[in-house]
Structure 1
Amino acid sequence: MERKRFIKTVTVLALMSALFLTACKEAAQQKKAQVQQQTYTCPMHPQIVQNKPGTCPICGMDLVLFDKSNKEASLTLGESQIQLANITMMTVGSAALSDYKQLNGRLATDPEQTAVISSRVQGRIESLFIKETGVKVTKGQPLYRIYSEQLASLQQEYLLAAAQAKHFPDDARFQQIEKAARQKLVLYDQSDRQINQLLQAGKADPYVTYPASVSGVVAELSVSEGQYVSEGSAVMRLEGYNQLWVEADVYPAEAAAVRVGQSVKVVVAGWENEPQTMTIAFINPVLQSGSQLMQIRGTVANPDSRWQPGLQANIVLPVKSSDAALSLPVNAVIRDGKGAHVWIETARGKFEPRKVETGMENFDVVEITGGLEDGDKVVVSGAYLLYSEFVLKKGANPLAGL
């Protein structure tokens, strides 16, 4: 009897031990499975995902835990989080939208503002009052002093003719000779003041000073002091910068969108906030040598000569427009390999991704051709932060379930 009781007790204890071990094993397996379900990712590089703690192989940051079991396709943020992320919204609506094409261009000197100062007589450059380029000169300012025997002979001829006309005031022939001799001096760029000074002095002066006929900046010097020049030889070139050419390159396939008389915007590098309006004045029908580019040209005012020839200038060319289109700022649309999407505020602090289709686009806005309706409240700043937060918390692309 006692033997049977002992055997029964041992059997019960063995069964209890087996049940206890099984329960412990199941608890351990459940805990292990729970640990394995935990997933870690990098806050800066959401594509880095692993099932254990560690550091990001790209930036070295510690990986953070996220719950990928939460499949709700939305994010809920508090007021402080919205302000910290600088998230702002706008209500979309139909409005006019234009598409633009940007042409690479440059500023160039306007030939109409260029003047070549040439020697009116042959002789020797005795004095050169401007000896370097880049100097600004004004009209009437002395430029050079020349020694010319030819001009001295013409002066002497005029003095004799003037003396004869004075002694024989009633003789028309002497009067005509005096006028002809005076006209020769005028043709050699002698002013009335210089001719009157010659009459008062009563003798020829082979040294003559020539002033600037126009105002401008000395762009080129062609002579030096002591150099002999012939009649018509270039002395210097003056350029005016109050008005500049804008030259831009255009491919022949794009030439159909350009026409003479068309008004376009010009953006000078460094003055992006001050676009200028220009009218296209010329389209070169010949391709530039060594390229497949045509050239268009126009002029812009250059107040106070603040721009210099050679500066980069882009032409903003409108190519098409729509009178009624849904549009958003470019930064509101997130693009990746799965498409384009925006973030919609469905309730205060609750944001959901919305897949959209885009149309024409310019530098500031993009047309939305599908996915949105008038009145939708769209995130326009902070959209990328919402995208990153979604990937971080959900472990999936916002478009995965759309």
Structure 2
Amino acid sequence: MGLFGCGAELGAETETPSESVAEAAADSPMEHAAKHLDPKYVCPMHPQIIRDEEGTCPICGMDLVKKLMDPMTGKYPEVALTPAVVQTLGVRTAAVERGTLWKYIETLGRIAYDETRLAHVHPRAAGWIESLSLRAEGEPVRAGQELAELYAPAILNAQVDFLLAQDRNAADRRRVSEDKARNILRLLDVPDDVITAIQRDGEARNRVPIRAPIDGIVTKMMARDGMYVTESSEMFTIADLSQVWVMVDIYESQIDWLSEGLSAEMRVPARPGRTWEGKVDYLYPELDPVSRTLRVRLVFDNPDLALKPNMFANVVIYGGPKREVLKIPAEALIVTGEREAVVRVLGDGRFQPVDVVTGMQRGDEVEILSGLDEGDEIVVSGQFLIDSESNLQASFQRMSGVGGSGASDDDDAGDTGGGMTAGGSHAHH
């Protein structure tokens, strides 16, 4: 029974598949092929009612309509609806038109640290932390600000060697030794002003300062007073938040025109009424195998530190206009996972599903690459029921022999026309 049937019993009036097969087997190949190229008459409401001549439907009494089935065309069966059914289904239509699609993507993102603006502070020699200046994580620091002092025997020994090389009356090779000793102190991260003070005072210092390399916020603090640390110990992590990254995921169908340098706009729920302008900084090299999305990194300036890492953000990436594209309303598209289709209006209450190839989708509009022409009228509401009815018709016609079941000479034609409709039928049932 079709989707729009009234549920009445078919009784003796309905032809069974076995009867159709028996009739087909009794025909010669030429007679069988001729029958399938002749007009068939079907009920608009009950596509299982198929006759070789005009008449009325034994179920609902409607006049049978002519239908020429050519399985070699590979088209979906037409669906004929009365005006009353069209009104009941709320069928709405729209025209296929050419126009401009603005290339932009709306997506959600998450604010993250700019990893190029992170500083990890390690000691250059093993020793003990003394006189810790910071109290807790989250404190702002300036470049050059003292964070703690370190007592390290290796640094103290390097200072002694540097002082021994200070004899001004020594030969040139002793001067080279002084430069080498100074460079060793620098490699041990002893600040230049401290080296100058050591040289001026002629005294080694037991503790040397550990200073912040950049302006930022202390996001990790592992150091504690009296703690023994080695070169592998991360004492502090400092993040410069004057610029942040925003990580977004872009669907596979939207990445064709993405490129580095495109402009982007961002809003965050935590700061209503404000917008930030940034740009696409990097497109990662692979898609997520589960979500089928591409990770994209954006960069935004954050001078007042209003943007905090791990905030959610609403992001729009702009790519400019794509002109003179064939487009349809997105609501008209039927996507099953196996095919993309629309229902085209043929006129006089007749409709037919058509497979299409889509391109870019922007908001409520979709680009059509093939399958439709400018000016075609398509269904934008009620198309799923019409598509399902067309697939049911195809199934019934194959069962009754119209779509290509029965004698061997018709089998190839049935495969040609039936394969497409079968795919659609599986998608809906």
Letter in 1 for 2:245: W
**1:136-191 Cα distance to aligned partner (Å, 9 max, x none):** 000111111111111111111111111xx32x25x112211122112211211222
After superposition, the Cα gap between the structure-2 partners of 1:322 and 1:214, relative to the gap in structure 1 and judged at 3 Å, is: closer
Alpha-carbon contact 1:248-1:314 (below 8 Å) kept:
no
Shift in Å, 1:99: 6.9
Partner of residue 161 from structure 1, selected from 165, 179, 184: 165
2:127 equivalent to 1:132:
no
Which residue does the alignment assign to 1:211? 211
2:120 equivalent to 1:116:
yes
Alpha-carbon contact 1:125-1:144 (below 8 Å) kept:
yes
Shift in Å, 1:258: 2.2
Alpha-carbon contact 1:121-1:232 (below 8 Å) kept:
no
Shift in Å, 1:278: 2.6
After superposition, the Cα gap between the structure-2 partners of 1:290 and 1:132, relative to the gap in structure 1 and judged at 3 Å, is: farther
**Cα distance in structure 2, aligned partners of 1:150 and 1:204:** 12
Secondary structure of the residue aligned to 1:294 is: strand
Alpha-carbon contact 1:116-1:237 (below 8 Å) kept:
yes
After superposition, the Cα gap between the structure-2 partners of 1:134 and 1:289, relative to the gap in structure 1 and judged at 3 Å, is: farther
Which residue does the alignment assign to 1:269? 269
Residue segments in structure 1 that go unaligned for 5+ positions in a row: 1-94, 325-359, 364-368, 371-402
Following superposition of structure 1 onto structure 2, how do residues 296-375 of structure 1 map, counting pairs within 5 Å? 296-318=296-318
Letter in 1 for 2:145: Q
Alpha-carbon contact 2:267-2:314 (below 8 Å) kept:
yes
After superposition, the Cα gap between the structure-2 partners of 1:161 and 1:232, relative to the gap in structure 1 and judged at 3 Å, is: farther
Structure 1 stretches (4+) deviating beyond 6 angstroms? none
**1:192-248 Cα distance to aligned partner (Å, 9 max, x none):** 321222233333222112221211100001222211111353211000111111111
**Cα distance in structure 2, aligned partners of 1:290 and 1:301:** 32
**Cα distance in structure 1, aligned partners of 2:260 and 2:130:** 49
After superposition, the Cα gap between the structure-2 partners of 1:127 and 1:288, relative to the gap in structure 1 and judged at 3 Å, is: farther
Percent of residue pairs identical: 27
Alpha-carbon contact 1:284-1:294 (below 8 Å) kept:
yes
Alpha-carbon contact 2:262-2:318 (below 8 Å) kept:
no
**Cα distance in structure 1, aligned partners of 2:113 and 2:251:** 23
**Cα distance in structure 1, aligned partners of 2:179 and 2:318:** 61
Shift in Å, 1:284: 1.7
**Cα distance in structure 2, aligned partners of 1:272 and 1:134:** 24
**1:38-78 Cα distance to aligned partner (Å, 9 max, x none):** xxxxxxxxxxxxxxxxxxxxxxxxxxxxxxxxxxxxxxxxx
Which residue does the alignment assign to 1:384? none
**Cα distance in structure 2, aligned partners of 1:121 and 1:319:** 51
- Specify the structure having the higher radius of gyration (Cα): 1
Shift in Å, 1:320: 8.0
Choose 284-293 or 199-208, whichever is displaced more: 284-293
**Cα distance in structure 2, aligned partners of 1:186 and 1:316:** 47
Choose 151-160 or 252-261, whichever is displaced more: 252-261
Letter in 1 for 2:185: L
Alpha-carbon contact 1:131-1:221 (below 8 Å) kept:
no
After superposition, the Cα gap between the structure-2 partners of 1:250 and 1:99, relative to the gap in structure 1 and judged at 3 Å, is: closer
Which residue does the alignment assign to 1:189? 189
Equivalent residues, number: 233
Following superposition of structure 1 onto structure 2, how do residues 35-114 of structure 1 map, counting pairs within 5 Å? 98=102, 100-114=104-118
After superposition, the Cα gap between the structure-2 partners of 1:174 and 1:247, relative to the gap in structure 1 and judged at 3 Å, is: same
Which residue does the alignment assign to 2:80? none
Choose 129-138 or 274-283, whichever is displaced more: 274-283
Letter in 2 for 1:148: A
Secondary structure of the residue aligned to 1:150 is: helix
2:148 equivalent to 1:144:
yes
- Give the RMSD, CA atoms, in angstroms: 3.0
After superposition, the Cα gap between the structure-2 partners of 1:289 and 1:272, relative to the gap in structure 1 and judged at 3 Å, is: farther
**1:287-318 Cα distance to aligned partner (Å, 9 max, x none):** 33753322111101112111101111122245
TM-score, with structure 2 as normaliser: 0.49
Which residue does the alignment assign to 1:248? 248
Secondary structure of the residue aligned to 1:256 is: coil
Secondary structure of the residue aligned to 1:305 is: coil
TM-score, with structure 1 as normaliser: 0.52
Which residue does the alignment assign to 1:239? 239
Alpha-carbon contact 1:143-1:209 (below 8 Å) kept:
yes
